[in-house]
Structure 1
Amino acid sequence: MWSITLKLMRKTKRMLIPAGIAIMIGTAFIASTFLFGNAMNDSLTRQMTAMFGNANYAVTVNSSDLSDEELNEAYSSTVGDFHLDQIAGIEGVDGVRASVETGVSVSRGDSAISGEIISTAAQKNMLPVNITEGDQPKDSNEVALPEDMAKQLNVGIGDTVRLTSQYAVGTDGKAKADNVRVAGLTSDPNGAYSYYGGAIVGSDNLLAAMQGTDDFDTTGTTTVYLDLALDGNSVSAKTINSVKALLPKHFDLMSRQQVSDESIKS
């Protein structure tokens, strides 16, 4: 059979050309499909986990099988409900950041720009944006501005700008505002806040004031990011269980990969 096939192929070489072209096109199509699929998944993974910064775990609402009342309870949680100081003291926890953000306006002189202010962290690698110059806010009334915003306002590190809440108002009916010091500049390489042109990183007291509260622990949040030390290729069960024991009702601990997989699936 094989010898007959070879003889036929030698006699009909021209007839093999279309078949060869079809095979090449089919192979290229399949290869391109796999390449596109992998590239899309990689892009989606980066987008879905851009908020993590250097964190590898997140505490989020476990909304499965929750009643409307339970969902309202979960989404009414505040920073204080998560016992962040206790979690930070657990062996194997290398970083903690509660995700808090709100809309603000940043102004200097006659120039004003709208933006999104997000909570800071003790470790700058826990932030979803990069500190490109200076440092992240560590003291009260400090911010790190997106590079483009700083250029538009013509401000640098050490300058003072005015921060005004887009939502919270004081007893006088006026929007909450504070004069703040620029401690650093930020970039957003993963596009976590591309819609806002980047993110303003603010000290805890500013996040509280811009949300209309007096204490950072009373600001609303439903997500906490954690950097958990690896024991080989995984986090130790002791660390995982110790963290879970401190979480409020209706919340669960998920790895970065789990969050990514669930987001892509949905």
Structure 2
Amino acid sequence: MANTLLPPSDILTFTLTPDNPTNTSITNAVGETIYTVVTDRTKKSTYTQVRDVSDEVIGSLEWRDVLADRVRVGNSKPMSLWDWMKKSPVPFKDQAVFMDERGRKYKWKGLAPGLSLQLFSNDDNYGTPIARYQRSHAILDPPITQIASLSSTPSPSLLSLSPTLTDSVRDTDAQSIATTLASAETQSIAPTLVDEPRTILPRRIIKQRSPATLLLTSRAAEIQDLVVLSFLFLEKYHRTRESGSVASGNTMQGLMLAHGC
């Protein structure tokens, strides 16, 4: 694989709605639902199932508070998440490696808090990402500054002074402006809100959120189900780590909702 990203026309874009790896719909570029992710709680445990476009379960995850989550891929036997994917040793704790059915190796990077997941293959010695996750994020309006004017509005004649006026006229106008400012400074010690100058500091308003997307090159599309499953299960683990503690079912569901708002 060449050490360059493929052109946009060769990249699959999957959108997660909402941005929640344990409860979401994954759609393609034309809005078709390709995968459905649903999490159900029982008295004994919490389970996440991933279904494809044919409504077949392609993988599931059993949540566990102390031990590693237990994963099942297709019809395989349940196994520890870290038996399926191998975490890299120190100092590369932000990586996890797995293999496809042909024995080809893949590495997810970006498990450390604050990073985003990217998938690499051993084809080019893990040089170029073949899949990348982009979290949903707020789109902000530009800063807005509003300054309320004084109750005494300058005379229109002052605003339309021509630069060709004589110095005497300029001096007269300057004295008039100075008198107006002095009057404003010596007004009542209990001014009204209308009389008082008011400044609203620059602010940024959240207008909307960008969609959460998983981008796959044609190379990643060769193992599409594995990419989606490994991403979803790792991202759930990733967000647990970012919370700063091992999350129980209730805590984790709240965390996922927080990320998907």
Could you state the TM-score of these two structures normalised by the residue count of structure 2? 0.23
Q: Which of 1 and 2 has higher RCO (CA within 8 Å, sep 6+)?
A: 1
Between structure 1 and structure 2, the one with the greater Rg is 2
Could you state the TM-score of these two structures normalised by the residue count of structure 1? 0.22
Kindly indicate which of the two structures has a greater share of residues assigned to helix: 1
